[in-house]
Every structure is written in C-alpha cells, then in structure tokens.
Structure 1
Amino acid sequence: MSVHTPAVKAISISRDRVGESPVWSVANQCIYWVDIEGPFIHRLNWANRHQSTWTLPERVGCIAMSNRGTLIAAMETGIFEVALSEPPVAHVSLLASVTHPQASMRFNDGRCDPQGRFWAGTMVRDMGLASPAGGIYGLDENGLQGPVLSGYITPNGMAFSTDGTTAYLSDSHPSRQQIWKHSFDAATGTWGPQAAWVDMQALPGRPDGAAVDAEGCYWICGNDAGRIHRFSPQGDLLQSIAVPVSKPAMCAFGGPELRHLFVTSIRPASPAPGFDATLDGALLVLEPGVQGLPEPLFSRFPVR
C-alpha cells in the first residue's frame, strides 16, 4: 500500500456543515452535492466554476440524478423528486414516505443501482446514541421497499461493482467501522447475505462515502483521518491518498473524462491539528490517476 498526495484543490465557495453525496452529471457537466444540515443542494458548473445553491425543506442525506432531468433526494420523511428552479427555489414532490422505527431519524448515504433503482440507508441523527435502528430501503416502480437490511447505526459506503453483481455497504459509527459486501441480483434488486470484507478498525479513518472506479476498485473516505482509501475487489488496500481536511465524507468520479475525484467534507466541531481548517466543509477535487464510471440515473419512478 502506498500513500500519495496529489494536488488537491478546493473548488466550492461554500464551507458545508456536513457536505455529502457528490454526483456528477454527464449530461450537463456539473457536480451536485448536498449539505445535510443546510439543508442545501449545491451545483458547480465545471466549465465556468459557477456555484449555485438551493434550500430544501428537510435535511437531505443523499441525491441521485433522474432520467427526467430532476434530482432524487432522500431526506427525513421520505424520498422526493426535486426540480431546481432559479436559486434558491427548489420544487419538491414526495415520491414515497418512510415510517421510521424511532424518532429523530433521517436518510443518510445512498445511490442508484445499475438498473435505475434508488437505494438509501437511514440512521438516528444523534450518533452518540449508537442506536442500530438504521435500515436500507429501495425505491422503484412498486414504491418504497424495506428495510431490506437492518441493524445499522450509521449506514454508509454504498456502491455497486462494475458488473452489478456485488453491493458494498459500510457502517461508519466508531463502534463498527466495517465494510461488507453482498451478492446483488440486479434483475430483481435482491440483496444477498452480509459478508465481511474490510475491517477498518485498524486503518486510518472511519469508513464513510464511497465510489467504484472503472477497474472495479472501491474508493472510500477515511473520515477523521484525512484519507481516501482504494481497495481491490478482493479487499486489499492498494492506495491511500492524503487530503488537507480531517473529515472527508464522500467521493465521486467526474469531470469531462471522469478522471477527477470530487470529495465532500465536514466541518468538525473544533479544528483538527495537522489539517487546514480553512478548507473544512469545502468540495475538493483531485486527479487520482484512474477513470470512474458514469453514475446510473434513477428511472424506476413509482407507479401511482
């Protein structure tokens, strides 16, 4: 395993409280991401670096692009379709509501599978409670299904292998810090049993948001350690990239040739020694030396 420090730039004007869920739009050559606690959706135009921000009615855990040119957003009370108008106006319509097993929960990490379904995990907002009430839910033409998996404190790291037959998940809570893999039936959207894959207790950082590159390797942010790790499909740590913020949150491939890696970040309660506090909460970009894959579009809208 090697540690690399490529040139890392901050490209956002915002400094988010909880920057998450970067998603690259191939169609309009923009990167979208959220500030969960804003609650905001941001968009940065790659060509001119212009950033726009929209305000949402609830905390937003994750987003995906749809085949209708809208966004899909997993928030507190359900999953919504979001049409962005002149900033800061966003038109929000409910696709499916969720019934949480306890109070003060929200959606967290999620994304689309290769067949256009949307998957997202839930969590109790107060991580200090260490409540395993979180679950994984899926949205398609049949509505919201789930939880199809349960027992998570802070579900994170969702990604799918290049052939769509493996799904990855992590739990970033300090008491867990595990990454698992599941067999995945793309035709039916069925998750197989949880299998141990990477134990991050012994590695720098807690496992947060993730992405898969064109070579099938899995990239995940090491929150609290200022690292982004790259694992082989077999679970071997191949590379570790240092970034100038202590709490990188999620990474996504993008840019004109999908050769840039965008990294959202979180502002810690107090600055961490050895890191650049002026960049905490910024959207970062670097060139990792490998190419990513286009993010699938949500296309399985519920039939009303």
Structure 2
Amino acid sequence: MNGVGSMRAERVAAAGDAPAEVGECPVWRAAEGALYWVDIVANRLNRLHLDSGRRTAWRLPERIACFAFDRDGALLAGMESGLFAVDLRAAPHGGEVAARRIAAPAFPLADMRFNDGRCDRQGRFWAGTMVQDTAAAQAVGSLFRYDAKGGLSLPVVDGLIVQNGLSWSPDGRTMYLSDSHASRRLVWVYDYDVDAGWPRNRRLFADLHAHVGRPDGAAVDADGGYWICANDAGRVLRFAPDGRLDRQIELPAAKPAMCAFGGRDLDTLFITTIRPAANATEHDGHLFAARPGVCGLPEPEFAGALDGLGR
C-alpha cells in the first residue's frame, strides 16, 4: 500500500443506531434525494432522505440482495427464488410490502439466491446467483441478464462461487465482475457490446491476493476508476482503468460490502457493511460515507416498466 493515497470514511449517524447483519446494495435515487440499501438477512429495504434525515424501512417476503428502479419508481429486485417486481407505493410509510415474481432461473442446487446486481448503462438488469452457505465453496453460481423484451437470459457467466463486483465503465464498453470467495479473490474485466448486451474477452483486472481483503461490491466513478470493497480488510480500494491501485478509503468496520456514489453532486461514496457473527464492534453493520475527491455517475434505471410483468 506504499504510495497509495488514503482517507477515512465516517459513519452516517442519520442512518440510525441499529446495525445491519448484511448491509448491501446502496443505491442513490436522485429524484428523491434519498439513499436506499438492504439488509439481506433481515429481508429489509432501507431509505434515508439525506436533507431531512427521515428514515423508512420495508420488509420483503424473501431475502433481497440487489435491486434497480424503473422509471416509475418500482423496484426490480434479485431475491431468493428469483427476480421480483416491488411497488413501494403500496406501503409509502414502510412496513410489510408484497413482491411479485417475474422471472426465475433453474437453480442447480437448493438454498441459492441472487446476490450482487445492477443495470448496465442501457438499462438491462444483471444479477448473479450463489449458494447461501459460502463455506460449501460450490462453484455453481451464474450471472444472468434480464430485460423487458427478452426476459431472463440463460447463464452468461458461470462457474462462480460468490458473484460480486458488477459495474460498467462510464462509456459502458467495459464490464467488471468479481468472485468474493476466499479461494478466488479475483476481479475480471470484459469488453462489453453495448448493442447486444454481451460481455466478451474476459481477463484478470485485479488479484486481491496481491492487495488486501476479498473483492465485494463495487462502483465506477466519472473518471473510470473502479472502487471495490475489500471485505475483511476494512477498506475500499480504487483501481485506475489500467489496473493500478491508486487510493484507498479506510473504515473502522472490518467488512465493507458495497459502495455507491450519491448526494446532490454525486461526490459522496456511501459504503454498506456486514456485521460479523463473532467479535463485532460498535461500527460493524453500519452505513459509512466519504468524499474521495471524484464524482460518480447516475445509477441507471431499468429500461422498461415493471407494471404488468409476471402477471
């Protein structure tokens, strides 16, 4: 880490005192001035309005790991048994909310779920699957694409243990993908066909065996820098487009899980964290933020209307 610029993230007090067990998938929704994120184990979706500090929480019928908004504000969510449409307008003040399954893969094993996911720059939703018991180290996870016209694809990338790190370059022509499992700890990069929505020419981008931690969730900034959460190491690492590690953010929580740019000027990096089962500190499981000196990009919305899909 010598020569790498470093700064420290601060806990977001407005997010509340209750830690998440598995905080994941922060998404900034500019139309509301609000940050959304999930607690996978609690089946919970959270929202924080930054200006007012107002918080809302919804409970879903299954574990929710990733999601994207459509243009009407509905969610396309990757959950345990498939992809679901969720209309939060049915419960505007939080509480229990229904979810309608719109697509599901043929899971090769029992006890699997979707994990990391988001839309590409063209609004296609991508998400990967994994076995929930990561200690089993089963390489049966796959990456799928979903769009309103073609529905759910066949596996586009397979052989994954814990799919993560999904993101795209500012021009959309480069796709990043990681495998977080301790036996992998790799980030790959692909050439991405923006017209066909297809990744090709996979090669190694970053091997975290040469750095620290396990590569978890990620975000790309406006300059093309790839920010990856180094789970177990309490850091978020920024790799330049050529693969050089050039800066890092340190956290007092050991297990940063995913990051996303937000705020009015997209100049704040929000970071969710996981609370370990043993030896947790007061900081583990909370939401953190840093201003790394570079801005992010708007999170793409799903290019389609979820109303009516799956009926």
Contact 1:6 1:288 in 2 (8 A): no
Q: Distance in 2 between matches of 1:95 and 1:169?
A: 25
Aligned partner of residue 67 in structure 1, secondary structure:
coil
1:295 aligns with 2:299: yes
Match of 2:87 among 78, 83, 87: 83
Which residue type is aligned with residue 163 of structure 1?
Answer: D
Partner residue, 2:288: 284
Distance, in Å, in 2 between the alignment partners of 1:165 and 1:177 is: 24
Whether 2:42 is the aligned partner of 1:38: answer: yes
Rounded Cα–Cα distance in structure 2 between residues aligned with 1:261 and 1:90: 28
Cα distance in 1 for partners of 2:39, 2:46 equals 8
Task: Structure 1: give runs of 5+ residues left out of the alignment.
Answer: none
Matched-pair contact (CA < 8 Å) for 2:37–2:47? yes
Other-structure match for 2:59: 55
Identify the residue that residue 267 of structure 2 maps to in structure 1.
259
Structure 1 pair 196–7 and aligned structure 2 pair: CA distance change class (3 A): closer
Could you tell me which amino acid in structure 1 is paired with residue 105 of structure 2? V
**1:268-279 → structure 2 map (5 Å cutoff):** 268-271=276-279, 277-279=281-283
Q: Map Cα deviations across residues 174-221 of structure 1 (whole Å, 9 max, x no partner).
A: 000000001111111111132111111121111000000000100010
Distance, in Å, in 1 between the alignment partners of 2:9 and 2:129 is 34
- 1:193 pairs with one of 201, 211, 217: 201
Cα deviation digits, residues 29-49 of structure 1 (max 9, x gap): 100001111110000111111
10-19 or 209-218, which deviates more: 10-19
Q: Is residue 146 of structure 1 aligned with residue 146 of structure 2?
A: no
Looking at structure 2, the residues matched to 260 and 6 of structure 1 have their Cα atoms a distance apart, in angstroms, of 13
CA contact (8 A) 2:128 2:142 kept: yes
Aligned-pair distance for 1:6? 3.4
Partner of 2:219: 211
Task: Give the TM-score taking structure 2 as reference length.
Answer: 0.93
- Alpha-carbon distance in 2 for matches of 1:217, 1:156: 17
Offset of 1:94 from its aligned partner? 1.7
- 1:288 partner amino acid: P
TM-score, normalization by structure 1? 0.96
RMSD over aligned CA atoms reads 1.3
Q: Within 5 Å, which residues of 2 pair with 1:10-29? A: 10-11=12-13, 12-13=15-16, 14-29=18-33
User: Residue in 2 aligned with 1:130?
Assistant: 137
1:248-270 CA deviation, whole Å, 9 max, x = no partner? 10000000100011000000111
- 1:121 pairs with 2:123: no
Q: Is the 8 A contact 1:6 1:287 kept in 2?
A: no
Give the aligned partner of residue 235 of structure 1: 243
Q: Is 2:108 the counterpart of 1:101? A: yes
Aligned to 2:4: 2
Q: Distance in 2 between matches of 1:301 and 1:144?
A: 15
Aligned-pair CA distance for 1:301? 4.9
How many residues get paired?
300
- Amino acid of the structure 1 residue aligned with 2:127: A
Q: Distance in 2 between matches of 1:208 and 1:7?
A: 17
